[in-house]
């Protein structure tokens, strides 16, 4: 009897030991599925650079990270071992909404070449406490785009949110013989505003091509956003939020190159510029009579511009 009992116990121990050593009987290791992040649409595309960003779905909940950005290559599935840039503090807006996407600039590109882009997040921790998981690197959905050719940038062409009104020439500030730069006019002139600060001189007197951004910053700082410059400053459309009120020099180019050639749909009437004259007067330009300045409290149309 003792013999059979000992044999039975030995068999139980042997079976138990065998199960413990059987890989199929072990619990599955914890291999959580990486979260899904999005690469935003490619915007601001020109021959040598473009813009994209990282978007994390709100359904993901709580998360943290050490670095976010985008990577790009002429080959599919780019990684951070390829060209990459870190997310900046700037924000652009999509379709004139309040949905902000942090900018990552895609730079040093070659004209007329197809590129692939993916967002990335380093050391992404999803969840809290014991329910959290950390991923060394997470890549977003892949997007592709083709840079423009230099010859495709011409006055009157639709580009980067508006119509090209002027391309910088030798002698202009910012001119680069290896790249085309210039100003883009917004395709609308319906808004009407006062200039603002009707009895205060603020020094917004720059009058060169592209100098309106500095003027606009001064005006919005001292006169507020409910002004001609403030409307341009607040404008966010088609992925661009860097519009400003044109200088007198910008507006002359718009009138000569677009309005007088029936391009852009602009109508006759007076338009404010960002160029200040005195505490009570600023430069404007009539597309009909040729008027060049007026009292700041008058209400005139505006044409927001941006540079490329």
Is 216 part of a structural domain of the chain? yes
Is 9 part of a structural domain of the chain? no
Is 161 part of a structural domain of the chain? yes
Pair (189, 296) in one structural domain: yes
Pair (167, 290) in one structural domain: yes
Dihedral of alpha carbons 54, 58, 59, 63, sign: positive
Pair (169, 292) in one structural domain: yes
pLDDT (0 to 100) of residue 180: 84
Overall domain count for the chain:
2
- For residue 80, the domain's CATH number is 2.60.40.10
What is the b/e burial string over 204-230, where b = at least 16 CB atoms within 10 angstroms of the residue's CB? bbbbebbbbbbbbebbbeebeeebbbb
Give the pTM.
Answer: 0.63
Of the three residues 127, 150, 173, the one that is the final residue of a domain is: 150
Pair (49, 88) in one structural domain: yes
Query: Which tokens hold the place of 196?
Result: 């603002």
Strand partners, 285: 271
Range of the domain at 267: 153-307
Pair (164, 144) in one structural domain: no
CB atoms within 10 A of CB 307: 18
pLDDT per position in the chain (308 positions), as tens?
A: 444 444 444 454 444 444 455 544 444 456 678 888 889 889 878 888 888 888 877 777 777 888 889 999 999 999 999 999 887 554 444 444 444 556 788 988 988 999 999 999 888 888 777 677 888 889 999 999 999 887 778 899 888 888 999 999 988 888 888 788 899 999 876 678 999 999 999 999 999 998 999 999 999 999 999 999 999 998 876 667 889 999 999 999 999 999 999 998 898 899 999 999 999 999 999 998 777 899 999 999 999 999 98
Look at residues 190, 197, 191, 192 and name the one whose alpha carbon lies nearest to residue 295: 197
Pair (51, 197) in one structural domain: no
Pair (163, 213) in one structural domain: yes
CA dist., res. 137 & res. 179, Å (int): 35
Pair (63, 174) in one structural domain: no
Q: Are 100 and 90 in contact (CB under 8 A)?
A: no
Of the three residues 150, 177, 203, the one that is the final residue of a domain is: 150
Of the three residues 150, 179, 208, the one that is the final residue of a domain is: 150
């Amino acid at each position: 009897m003792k013999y059979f009992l000992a044999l039975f116990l030995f068999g139980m121990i042997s079976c138990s030991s065998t199960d413990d050593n059987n890989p199929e009987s072990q619990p599955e290791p914890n291999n959580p599925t990486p979260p899904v992040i999005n690469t935003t649409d490619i915007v601001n595309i020109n021959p040598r650079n473009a813009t994209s960003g990282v978007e994390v779905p709100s359904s993901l909940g709580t998360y943290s990270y050490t670095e976010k950005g985008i990577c790009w290559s002429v080959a599919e599935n780019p990684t951070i071992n390829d060209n990459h840039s870190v997310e900046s503090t700037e924000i652009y807006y999509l379709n004139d909404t309040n949905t902000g996407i942090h900018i990552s600039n895609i730079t040093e590109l070659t004209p007329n070449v197809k590129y692939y882009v993916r967002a990335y997040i380093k050391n992404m921790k999803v969840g809290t406490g014991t329910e959290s998981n950390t991923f060394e690197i997470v890549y977003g959905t892949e997007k592709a785009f083709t840079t423009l050719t230099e010859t495709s940038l011409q006055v009157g062409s639709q580009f980067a949110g508006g119509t090209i009104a002027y391309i910088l020439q030798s002698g202009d500030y910012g001119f680069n013989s290896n790249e085309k730069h210039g100003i883009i006019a917004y395709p609308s002139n319906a808004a009407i505003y006062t200039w603002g600060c009707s009895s205060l001189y603020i020094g917004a007197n720059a009058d060169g091509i592209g100098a309106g951004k500095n003027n606009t910053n001064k005006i919005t700082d001292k006169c507020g956003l409910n002004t001609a410059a403030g409307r341009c400053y607040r404008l966010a459309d088609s992925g661009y939020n860097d519009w400003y009120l044109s200088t007198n020099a910008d507006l002359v180019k718009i009138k000569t190159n677009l309005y007088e050639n029936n391009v852009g749909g602009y109508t006759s009437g007076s338009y404010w510029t960002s160029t200040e004259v005195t505490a009570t007067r600023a430069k404007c330009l009539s597309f009909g009579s040729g008027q060049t300045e007026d009292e700041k409290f008058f209400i005139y149309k505006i044409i927001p511009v941006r540079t490329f």
